[in-house]
Amino acid sequence: MRENKSAPDLGSAPVGKLVAKLAVPAVVAQIINLLYNLVDRMYVGSIQDIGTDALAGLGVAFPITLIVSAFSNLVGMGGAPLAGIFMGEGRRDSAEKVFNTGAVLLVLFGAVLTAITLSAGDPLLRLFGAPDSSFQYASEYLFVYGTGTLFVMLSLGLNPFITAQGYSFTSMATVAIGAVLNIALDPLFIFVFGMGVRGAALATVLSQAVSAVWVTSFFFRKKSLFRFRRKLLLPDRKLAARMLLLGLSPFIMSATESAIQIVFNVNLKMYSGGNSDYTAALTIMLSAVQMICLPLNGLGTGVQPLVSYNYGSGNSARIRQTIKIVAVIALCGSTSVWLVSLLAPQVYGWMFSASDSVMRLVVRYTPFFMMGTVMFFAQMTLQNVFVALGQAKISIFLACLRKVILLIPLCFLLPLAFGVSGVYYSEGIADAVAGVITAVTFFTMVPRILRKRERQLSVQRTQSAGAAEADSVPPRA
């Protein structure tokens, strides 16, 4: 993909055009990433004789792969907005120091997670509620996937630093290259070579490896503002702490997504008597949730460079204009998927070649499971604006709200009254409540945050002007 030699001017170019230039590639990248996640399940679900058990196995292994993504978000989604704010303040050296610190952290986290996945994968799968009939497939997938953990960390963790510079199409290409390759390799390894679930995992690992090489090579190009520099590779503790604190919100969102899927699997195993049909149906419904979560998240993260840069430079008007555009787009998107989920839930079953018994569960429970997705415009998109504004504490609270504070307790409590149905009811209730709270918090707090920033910069400019005037007065003889 060809791109302009210079990145877009985040401080003065028309906001509408910038939103399109930054957000559209980010949304497309997340849709491609969605395909990345769904293709394995589609192909695996269609394997003759073992499709349902194999799909359930991937559903149990998926929370562990989410934890890997969570650590890449901790670094990438925390470091990139911080680098963007520094660039808006004109502190390019600090921005580049953030990038190099992040790169080192990604490698360290990748090494540790690889060791854990390969050495403790099976005990974790047992602990996370793998049904006996699907344990073998979960184990096979996770072991092969674990060998490529470092590739996942680099491709996902470094890509936000490309987006932060305004090179959104290059960032999209990072995801597209891996996804297209994965889609091509999946049927080859699964069916032609007869590798089954192992083939699905191997296709993912090879695809992520190519993406990692692509994204890493970008930072050796002349147009990149960030470069790997030996003198900066020793992590700066203060910057690392700020980066990880800011990245804690997207980390929690990914990690708690993993935690809740574990809670789902454990409760389903308990209340369904170990029937893998319920786990397979859950895997399909969670995939449906991703169909709206990932594009909306892409919209929010796509405009982060625009918000962060203008927050750093103190241009609140451009931030307000960006928020208006993004909020309307996100609301339209979340409402569309919500309506499909309520009126035609069987669509999701057809996508994953669901058996008759699994299809009945999907049709019965999806409207309840997805009833809160209309509020994802706030929970998935607008929440990312808090990260872009450097508001770590608010972001962390909202990230914990949906899963930790609401969903996990509901997932344990509701089955006591409604049996296995309560597991599915808990998602919809938590999503609706968390979305309303997030929307109210956002539209209440953001104006205050912008006014506070304006006052801070006004004081700084006054002090700078006073210091300059004092320096210009000649000394008395």
pLDDT-derived band at 217 (thresholds 50, 70, 90) equals very high
- Res. 253: pLDDT tops 90: no
* Domain presence at residue 426: yes
Q: What confidence score (pLDDT) does residue 431 get?
A: 93
- Phi–psi pair at 166, nearest 5 degrees: 95, 0
Show Cβ contacts of residue 317 under 8 Å, excluding neighbours closer than 6 positions: none
Look up the pTM and report it.
0.71
* Domain presence at residue 477: no
* Domain presence at residue 179: yes
DSSP state of 476: P
* Domain presence at residue 112: yes
Question: Which residue would you say has higher pLDDT here, 56 or 240?
Answer: 240
Q: Two tokens at 90?
A: 């004109």
Q: What confidence score (pLDDT) does residue 381 get?
A: 87
DSSP state of 134: G
- Res. 473: pLDDT tops 60: no
* Amino acid residing at 158: L
Mean pLDDT of the chain: 86
Q: Two tokens at 266?
A: 């454990």
Q: What confidence score (pLDDT) does residue 84 get?
A: 85
Helix (H, G, I), strand (E, B) or coil at 90: coil
pLDDT in tens, 428-454: 999 999 999 999 999 999 999 988 888
Q: Any idea which residue has 């309560």 for tokens?
A: 422
* Domain presence at residue 418: yes
pLDDT-derived band at 468 (thresholds 50, 70, 90) equals low
pLDDT in tens, 163-192: 888 888 888 888 889 888 988 898 999 988
Q: Any idea which residue has 């709206």 for tokens?
A: 292
* Domain presence at residue 296: yes
Q: Two tokens at 261?
A: 């899927």
**Cα–chain-centroid distance for residue 145?**
19
* Domain presence at residue 315: yes
Q: What confidence score (pLDDT) does residue 289 get?
A: 87
Range of the domain at 229: 15-461
pLDDT-derived band at 3 (thresholds 50, 70, 90) equals very low
* Domain presence at residue 4: no
pLDDT-derived band at 1 (thresholds 50, 70, 90) equals very low
Q: Are 139 and 125 in contact (CB under 8 A)?
A: yes
Q: Any idea which residue has 């963007």 for tokens?
A: 84
Q: Two tokens at 445?
A: 């707090």
Helix (H, G, I), strand (E, B) or coil at 225: coil
Question: Which residue would you say has higher pLDDT here, 126 or 210?
Answer: 210
* Total tally of structural domains belonging to the chain: 1
